[in-house]
Amino acid sequence: MKTTLKTVLTREFQEALQKLKSHPDMKASLAWKILPSYKRLKEAYKDYDNVRLELCEQYGQRDEQDNLIKIPVNDSGAYSYAFNPQDELMFNSQLEDLRNQELSLPEPKVSVSEVFDLNLTVENLDALVGLVLKED
């Protein structure tokens, strides 16, 4: 199954995958069928984040001690990095190229009918079908 990183990085896909993988009523046999896709996605997210951080290191604005300047996003401790305008354009361009990279996922082994009792929403199913779930 071919897709792009951009597709699996969407908020909708992330939320649907989280809901699916953490569902308390999922049987072990079903989880086992989903596991290859989940492992590949987990690996892809880790690789993506590593490259994103390398790009931040390369293009991020630095303070007098040569540390990247972090900008708090909210009270949870999340932060963003500061960029000079030209460097931000380069960062965003390279990040977009990365997001457009092709990603190979295992063919889905779980049919939509196998997850009916998990109470997934229409939006969840829309995000997951074709990538993690197969149509009946």
Residue-wise pLDDT for 49-81, tens only, equals 999 999 999 999 999 999 999 999 888 888 899
Q: What is the pLDDT of residue 14?
A: 95
Residue 136 has pLDDT above 90, yes or no: no
Which pLDDT score is estimated for 25?
87
Inter-residue contact 37 to 132 (CB < 8 Å): yes
Quick one: pLDDT at residue 128? 96
Q: Summarize the confidence of residues 30-48 as an average pLDDT.
A: 95
Helices 28-59 and 11-21: angle between axes, nearest 10 degrees? 140
High-pLDDT (> 70) share of the chain, % = 100
Q: Is the pLDDT of residue 20 over 90?
A: yes
Q: What is the pLDDT of residue 77?
A: 83
Q: What is the mean pLDDT of residues 29-53?
A: 95
Helix (H) or strand (E) holding 103: strand 102-104
pLDDT value at 86 more than 90: yes
**What is the mean predicted confidence (pLDDT) over 32-60?**
96
Length of the chain equals: 136
